[in-house]
């Protein structure tokens, strides 16, 4: 595609929203380093990764996304291989989620989410068997393999991201609601079995949700993370410490586990208050909406399904991350896309948005001297 045409047709609003979310993340990471006294090393790394990922996002628009349709199953299979490979590397904090090459670490589960969207889109684009109940077995198999491998790491948060994305994509592809409802009921019926296989730590995160304490009480057990998160969010008030100053001089009150990763949303809430929290959610809403607009305007089935899958992936991660920090969902390890610290998460989400930009650049077919040729 010619540069002038590329510049004219690129959905720059998606790029702007992604850059805005990264900027919010920088402020949140800087504030979290004030709490933990880490001297800015996390922010420096995130700035480096942000520049690299923005470049990767734009580079992902150069080749036509339709080439990926041929390699979607290979990408999904490759992600499964990497999910198995993590067990040959040392565990970190009791979990085997990383593949390390010297100082650089790769978290395969972050890339497995995008690979799953590609593989499922490839399967759904050229058949209608999923419109029968028995035809849903293949999509279920596609999701269960990476889901179970990630759950075994253990990583409960990332594993549950797959299921909402699966249901949204099946619905968008044309699966019958009664079949999806049957699957939902079947999944609920299996919860006792899942519960029996969960670790004590995973169970405690769920029970802590039902045992939330009063603001004046300070739990020391599994409810501590949730208590501190809600307290930090409340300290921000309407304008946050950025406008109103610190609410108290007691720095211990500002401590929350994983402030620069899983808990970054409440750090942003403390820094910029209710106004900043609302602006953060508005940015994610607009990003999801733009993804759905790209899907609506795309006439090619693979691209439409991928765009819907990426929009659902972003929305699901945001709902789980923010929901767990306000006591609506169990505390799980789900990063806030483009905002949380971490190279793997940032790169995977940037590549997903780059793919969304790619689809927006090529919304349909072109008829030229080569009949029905795919648009470049």
Tell how strand 373-374 and strand 104-106 pair up.
unpaired
Radius of gyration, CA atoms only, the chain:
21
Residue 374 pLDDT: 40
Please state, in angstroms and rounded to a whole number, the distance separating the CA atoms of residues 353 and 58: 9
Q: What's the Cα-to-Cα distance from 14 to each of 18, 32, 54, 100, 359, rounded to whole Å?
A: 6, 27, 11, 32, 12
What's the distance, CA 195 to chain centroid?
A: 24
The ranges assigned to domains in the chain are 20-362
* pTM for the model: 0.91
Residue 369 pLDDT: 39
320: number of Cβ within 10 Å: 23
Q: Are 291 and 311 in contact (CB under 8 A)?
A: yes
The pLDDT profile of the chain, 376 residues, written as one tens digit per residue, is 677 888 888 999 999 999 999 999 999 999 999 888 777 789 999 999 999 999 999 999 988 898 888 899 999 999 999 999 998 888 777 778 889 877 778 899 999 999 999 999 999 987 676 677 777 888 888 898 999 899 888 888 888 899 999 999 999 988 888 888 888 887 788 777 667 766 677 777 777 777 666 655 666 666 788 888 998 999 999 999 988 888 777 777 888 888 999 999 999 999 999 999 999 999 999 999 999 999 999 988 999 999 999 999 999 999 999 999 988 888 888 999 999 999 999 999 999 999 999 999 988 754 433 333 344 4
């Amino acid at each position: 595609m010619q540069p002038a045409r590329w510049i004219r047709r690129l959905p720059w609003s998606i790029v702007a929203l992604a850059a805005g979310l990264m900027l919010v993340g920088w402020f949140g990471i800087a504030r979290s380093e004030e709490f933990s006294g880490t001297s800015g090393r996390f922010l420096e790394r995130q700035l480096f990764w942000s520049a690299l990922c923005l470049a990767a996002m734009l580079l992902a628009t150069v080749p036509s996304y339709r080439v990926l349709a041929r390699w979607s199953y290979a990408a999904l299979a490759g992600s499964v291989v990497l999910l198995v490979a993590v067990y040959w590397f040392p565990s970190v904090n009791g979990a085997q989620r990383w593949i390390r090459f010297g100082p650089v670490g790769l978290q395969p589960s972050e890339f497995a989410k995008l690979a799953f969207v590609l593989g499922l889109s490839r399967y759904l684009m050229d058949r209608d068997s999923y419109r029968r109940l028995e035809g849903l077995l293949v999509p279920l198999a596609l999701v269960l393999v990476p889901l179970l491998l990630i759950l075994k790491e253990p990583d409960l948060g990332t594993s549950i991201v797959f299921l909402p994305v699966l249901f949204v994509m099946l619905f968008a592809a044309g699966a019958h609601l009664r079949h999806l409802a049957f699957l939902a009921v079947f999944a609920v019926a299996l919860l006792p079995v899942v519960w029996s296989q969960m670790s004590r730590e995973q169970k405690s995160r769920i029970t802590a949700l039902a045992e939330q304490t009063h603001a004046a009480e300070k739990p020391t057990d599994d409810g501590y993370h949730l208590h501190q998160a809600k307290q930090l969010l409340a300290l921000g008030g309407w304008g946050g410490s950025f406008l109103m100053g610190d609410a108290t001089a007691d720095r211990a009150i500002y401590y929350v586990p994983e402030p620069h990763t899983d808990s970054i949303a409440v750090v942003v809430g403390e820094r910029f208050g209710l106004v900043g929290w609302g602006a953060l959610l508005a940015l994610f809403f607009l990003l999801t909406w733009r993804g759905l607009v790209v899907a609506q305007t795309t006439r090619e089935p693979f691209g439409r399904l991928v765009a819907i899958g990426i929009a659902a992936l972003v929305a699901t991660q945001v709902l789980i991350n923010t929901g767990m920090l306000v006591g609506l969902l169990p505390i799980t390890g789900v990063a806030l896309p483009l905002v949380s610290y971490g190279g793997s998460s940032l790169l995977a989400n940037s590549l997903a948005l780059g793919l969304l930009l790619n689809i927006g650049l090529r919304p349909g077919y072109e008829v030229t001297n080569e009949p029905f040729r795919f648009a470049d």
